């Protein structure tokens, strides 16, 4: 009798019974009761992570009340403020200086006072300006101090202010009440304008020189996915005056031709002197731009299962997972950020944060050719969107609400705008199947923790991830999706993109994202090292008449900021890492390596009058000394005045020594996007993902994931029935078979849950 089929059936039966028992037991238990955290991960920090926490709703309200009562000027609700009035643009937490925080976290020092940063627009002043105030201590404010001059070297001119939602609304009213009525025949007969069927999209920056506030607005059909429905009309509005009644139209563009204003366009139309391209009216659902599925629902997609509930813990703004711990937050302008990132109880980074997302467009239409979106100015945190379970994040994810106060005097809650989940990536983190000499299998599932937010800034959706692996590696990644921006197809438009629909040109553009990575590898003081390879020719010692080409390790210390600034497409050492003063067991400096994943397009030429405002994008990597006065690589004020940038990253690099110093890595990744027909109805994330990895490099004595409880190991000498008993009773990973070949056949139908 052949015992092999019997054993296979027995394995199937036992596995089925055990799986059913697991399901029944986990249904009766709280999902948190089975979490077993290693000692270095136990929560003993007594709320220390709250030093980085975002402002609470109560703190925001208290700051607003304080400002209303202590500034001596009237503050108008930002949602209805005129440019000539004063308002609170937004609030954020003021993170204390790093030295203060480290004294508190590491040396038993006093908790730094909790403070807020308030950005105010003072339009009702003899000299209108933008002012930044630090307000504290929270939760009961008693003081404020003006930090504008200290941060920026002077007052911030009022024309640099990021555009509030109310200003766009006011411009929309100006177009509807004054501009469009001046061309009644054209608007009715060509645009079929009914007062509500056109939508506008802003270009930026706004002009050609400092002080300009002159913006091109593109007209689209107001339907679902309107970004893909241009009608050929663009209007240049001069809204530089603080008196709305003085706003005016500077130029009008229609189907390849420029006009002084709408009156001139109307005259040319009535005289038959313009080429009319009447766009077919789209249905409300947008037709081709609709996101509605074109197929009926079928079998459900696969789901993940947590046999004993989540293996991570979220407490306030802190996350604990498999030896990792970190604090998280959401900046109004810059979005997702991390602080105090530790592995195995040791800090590896003080701060990792998104800095900016930049898009530079090309087109033969005025708005498209002049657009350089700096999305931090619009607000990567402000426009963080709610996350849909099962699509944006797994159903089993932990969803976190975030708060912000912008364009209002009241805090706004964004429900489920951040998610945390452990994800089985469906592949081994490491494995080996040995069929030479000894017979064994060893492996570890690649299960990682993901922290995610998605910012929808206009047409684009940015999926921001920070991913924590069991081997001590950390990944920062962004995936781009949403609608491509488009221009009206005319003339030589195909030089600047692909035709996506009848009148729709998908315009070529670049994406660049910038991160701040403040690594503290085994302490604050680090140096920057570069390892790479060269081939060397040598004689074969055993056969001197023969030569061998062999790779040799090259080593270099990068001593200065200039040496550590790598231009975008320049050759960079393949291994570049922050090195500690301490060594591992094998005598190597402990380090963390920076590995960038990018397929960036070209950076705007340095001769451009606005290049300094985005000069961080010159570099794929730049490492500088950390300075409190250089907290970010850019400024929200650069968008509306890139010609005199408030912050110019290029000034950070001044050849200072970076040996044994507190260092920051500024990482840029990006890709070139030439929209194509498969971007209809919108862009997919596949292939549109860039970012970086931080990987331990001689930081440990061996791979720390060897201590993971998820490991699997078995040999040919272990008994199959023993494996079944152990899997059923102890949930252990040392599952075995009576012989290696039989186990290989059985393992595909029998799985042992491991913890």
Please say if 496 is a catalytic residue. no
Cβ atoms 447, 312 nearer than 8 A = no
Q: How far apart are CA 727 and CA 753, in angstroms?
A: 7
- Interatomic CA distance for residues 720 and 728, integer angstroms: 12
Q: Per the residue annotation, which of 375, 520, 662, 710 is the catalytic one?
A: 375
Among candidates 348, 302, 298, which has minimal Cα distance to 323? Answer: 348
- CA 372, CA 509: separation in Å to the nearest integer? 9
- Identify whether 137 is preceded by a cis peptide bond (ω within 30 of 0): yes
Q: CB under 8 Å to 143, separation ≥6 — which residues?
A: 135, 136, 137
Dist CA 424 CA 74 (whole Å): 54
**Using alpha carbons only, how large is the chain's radius of gyration in Å?**
30
DSSP, res 638: S
Task: Compute the distance between CA of residue 345 and CA of residue 40 in angstroms, rounded to an integer.
Answer: 5
Angle at 350 between CA 347 and CA 355, to 5 degrees: 145
DSSP string of 256-296?
TEEESSHHHHHHHHHTT-S---PPPPPPTT-GGG--S-SS-
Measured CA to CA, the distance from residue 463 to residue 473 in angstroms comes to: 20
The CA distance from 456 to 384, in Å, is: 6
Backbone torsion region of residue 519, taken as left when φ is above 0, otherwise alpha when ψ lies between -120 and 50, otherwise beta: beta
Tell me the helices (H) and strands (E) count for the chain, helix number first: 11, 34
**Residue 460 known to be catalytic:** yes
Q: For residue 384, give every residue at least 6 positions away whose Cβ sits within 8 Å of its Cβ, in sequence order, or none.
A: 330, 335, 402, 414, 417, 418, 453, 454, 455
Among 26, 83, 93, smallest CA distance to 63 is for 93
- Which positions ≥6 away from 267 have C-beta within 8 Å? none
Rounded to whole angstroms, the Cα distance separating 733 from 713 reads 7
Q: How far apart are CA 677 and CA 498, in angstroms?
A: 8
> Which of these is catalytic: 121, 158, 460, 575?
460
The catalytic residue positions are 375, 460
């Amino acid at each position: 009798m052949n015992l092999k089929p019997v054993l296979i059936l027995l394995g199937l039966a036992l596995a089925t019974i055990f799986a059913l028992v697991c399901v029944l037991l986990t249904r009766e238990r709280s999902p948190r009761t089975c979490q077993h955290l290693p000692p270095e991960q136990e929560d003993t920090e007594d709320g220390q992570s709250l030093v980085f926490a975002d402002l609470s709703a109560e703190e925001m309200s208290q700051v607003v009340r304080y400002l209303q009562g202590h500034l001596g000027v009237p503050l108008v609700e930002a949602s209805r403020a005129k440019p000539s009035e004063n308002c609170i643009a937004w609030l954020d937490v003021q993170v204390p200086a790093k030295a203060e925080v480290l004294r508190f976290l590491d040396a038993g020092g006093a908790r730094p006072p909790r403070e807020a940063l308030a950005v105010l627009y003072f339009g009702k002043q003899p000299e209108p300006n933008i002012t930044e105030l630090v307000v504290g201590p929270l939760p009961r404010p008693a003081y404020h101090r003006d930090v504008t001059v200290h941060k920026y070297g002077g007052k911030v001119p009022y024309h640099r202010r990021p555009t509030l939602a109310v200003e766009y609304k006011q411009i929309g009213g100006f177009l509807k009440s004054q501009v469009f009525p001046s061309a009644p025949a054209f608007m009715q007969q060509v645009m079929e304008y009914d007062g509500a069927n056109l939508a506008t999209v802003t270009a930026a920056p706004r002009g050609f020189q400092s002080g300009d506030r002159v913006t091109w607005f593109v007209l689209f059909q107001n339907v679902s996915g309107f970004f893909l429905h241009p009608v050929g009309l663009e209007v240049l509005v001069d809204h530089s005056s603080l008196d709305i009644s003085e706003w005016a139209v500077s130029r009008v563009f229609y189907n390849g031709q420029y006009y002084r204003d709408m009156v001139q366009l109307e005259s040319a139309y009535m005289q038959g002197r313009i080429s009319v391209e009447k766009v077919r009216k789209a249905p409300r659902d947008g037709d081709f731009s609709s996101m509605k599925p074109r197929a009926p629902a079928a079998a459900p997609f696969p789901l993940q299962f947590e046999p004993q509930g989540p293996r991570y813990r979220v407490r306030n703004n802190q996350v604990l997972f498999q030896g990792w711990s970190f604090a998280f937050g959401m900046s109004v302008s810059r979005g997702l950020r991390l602080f105090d990132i530790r592995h195995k109880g040791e800090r590896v980074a003080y701060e990792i944060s998104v800095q900016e997302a930049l898009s530079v467009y090309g087109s033969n239409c005025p708005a498209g050719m002049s657009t350089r979106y700096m999305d931090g100015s619009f607000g990567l945190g402000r426009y963080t969107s709610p996350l849909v379970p099962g699509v944006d994040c797994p159903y089993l994810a932990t969803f976190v609400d975030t708060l912000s106060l912008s364009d209002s005097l009241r805090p706004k809650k964004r429900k489920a705008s951040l998610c945390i989940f452990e994800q089985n990536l469906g592949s081994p983190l490491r494995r080996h199947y040995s069929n030479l000499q000894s017979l064994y299998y060893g492996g570890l599932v690649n299960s990682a923790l993901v922290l995610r937010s998605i910012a929808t800034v206009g047409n684009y959706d940015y999926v921001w991830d920070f991913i924590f692996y069991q081997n001590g590696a950390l990944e920062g990644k962004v995936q781009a999706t949403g609608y491509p921006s488009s221009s009206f197809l005319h003339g030589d438009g195909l030089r600047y993109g692909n035709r996506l629909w009848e009148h729709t040109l998908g315009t070529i553009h670049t994406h660049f994202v910038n991160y701040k990575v403040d690594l503290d590898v085994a302490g604050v003081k680090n140096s920057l090292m570069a390892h790479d390879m060269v081939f060397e020719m040598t004689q074969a010692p055993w056969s001197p008449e023969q030569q061998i080409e062999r790779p040799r390790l090259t080593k270099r210390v990068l001593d200065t900021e200039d040496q550590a600034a790598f231009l975008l497409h320049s050759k960079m050492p393949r291994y570049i890492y922050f090195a500690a003063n301490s060594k591992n067991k094998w005598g190597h400096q402990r380090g963390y390596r920076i590995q960038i994943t990018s397929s960036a397009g070209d950076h705007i030429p340095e001769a451009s009058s606005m290049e300094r405002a985005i000069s961080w994008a010159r570099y794929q990597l730049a490492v500088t000394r950390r300075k409190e006065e250089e907290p970010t690589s850019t400024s929200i004020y650069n968008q509306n005045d890139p010609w005199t940038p408030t912050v110019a990253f290029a000034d950070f690099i001044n050849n200072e020594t970076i040996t044994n110093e507190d260092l920051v890595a500024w990482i840029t990744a990006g890709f070139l996007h030439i929209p194509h027909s498969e971007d209809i109805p919108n862009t997919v994330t596949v292939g549109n993902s860039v970012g970086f990895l931080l990987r331990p490099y001689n930081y440990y004595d061996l791979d720390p994931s060897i201590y993971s409880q998820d490991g699997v190991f078995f040999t040919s000498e272990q008994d199959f029935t023993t494996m079944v008993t152990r899997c059923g009773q102890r949930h252990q990973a040392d599952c075995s078979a009576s012989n290696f070949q039989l186990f290989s056949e059985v393992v595909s139908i029998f799985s042992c849950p491991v913890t």
